[in-house]
Amino acid sequence: MRYAIVYVSTASKDLEKKEIENILNSSKKWNNENDVTGLLLFSGGNFFQIIEGEKNLILELFQNINSDKRHHNITQIFGKEIHKEAYDGYDSDFVSDEADYDPEKFQHYLNQIKVLDNSTQKAVENILMAFLPI
């Protein structure tokens, strides 16, 4: 059974842009190599992540995420078993006023959550919308 966790967190104040880019890239590489699908976004000093995969692996990964000192205020939105993958791979993106915003890519993120139940889909959609650059 696949399992999904969605959370938001706040980056540490001393985290530099290059290190954030490294987090995004290394997360994408590791997750793709370990059959973890989902999405990691960074915007305005906050991370938003959806991780889905084999339940034990996801729970262990989330424990590691919780102990990572590069962010704090980790708030789990939900953790639950899922019957169908929402994502066909793992995406990471830097969303900010300085980064190029790609509306098609962002719509792709929104389209992928449509396999979630309605209440979860709405919660995730609301959080994703908060990551849109102003």
pTM of the model: 0.79
What CATH number does residue 36 fall under? 3.30.70.100
Structural domain for 6, as ranges: 2-130
* Structure confidence by residue, pLDDT tens digits, 34-78: 988 888 888 788 888 888 899 999 999 999 999 999 999 999 988
Total number of domains in the chain: 1
Round to whole Å and give the CA distance between 84 and 77.
19
CA-closest candidate to residue 112, choices 100, 124, 101: 124
* pLDDT for the residue 97: 47
* Structure confidence by residue, pLDDT tens digits, 93-131: 555 445 555 677 777 777 777 767 787 778 778 777 776
* pLDDT for the residue 133: 60
